[in-house]
Amino acid sequence: MKLVSETQCASETIEKYLSEFLKETIIKEKKGKFRIIYSPELEKDILEFYELLLNPTTKSIVIVLLKSNIELSQIELVSITEKSNPSISRGLKLLLEKRIIRRNYHAPYSTYKINNKEDIFEKLHKTYPEIYHNFDGFELCYPQPKIFLDIHK
């Protein structure tokens, strides 16, 4: 529980105050895979984006596609993020459903890119300011495909 570590209070104390604040509608909560406590003034799309990026694979895909100047294939995303192929596939499917990324079909593969980078940067600024402010520090290491193998040695 991030609130416990941030406030350095016991979880029972946190739960006591959370229940009081929830009753008085000072804060709201969203339960799903994660329990998210948020301000009632927060926009729904910002909350959904925050929840989406709680998944480390999805967060990696978004950061890599934001940083990349070219469209990337699923295999390139697997190589760059060092995540498993099924994990990248699930992340791409989720991002496509949320219309954050766009798929371009090429024979025999597809490439992916962010639909609206400015919008994503704005949401990152509101939800993950540490990523937003340190974005220039992220470096992409494009895979170097080995075309020829030296089999004669």
**pLDDT by residue (tens digit) across 56-86?**
999 999 999 999 989 999 999 998 888 999 9
Fold of 48-137: Arc Repressor Mutant, subunit A (1.10.10)
Split at pLDDT 50, 70, 90, the class of 138 is: confident
What is the percent of the chain where pLDDT is above 70?
91
Is the per-residue pLDDT at 152 higher than 50? no
Range(s) within the chain of domains with CATH label 1.10.10.10: 48-137
This model's pTM is above 0.85: no
Give 34: exposed, middle or buried? Use CB within 10 Å, 0-12, 13-18, 19+.
Answer: exposed
Give residue 142's pLDDT.
58
Closest to 57 in 3D by CA, of 96, 86, 98, 100 = 86
Element (H, E) at 102: strand 101-106
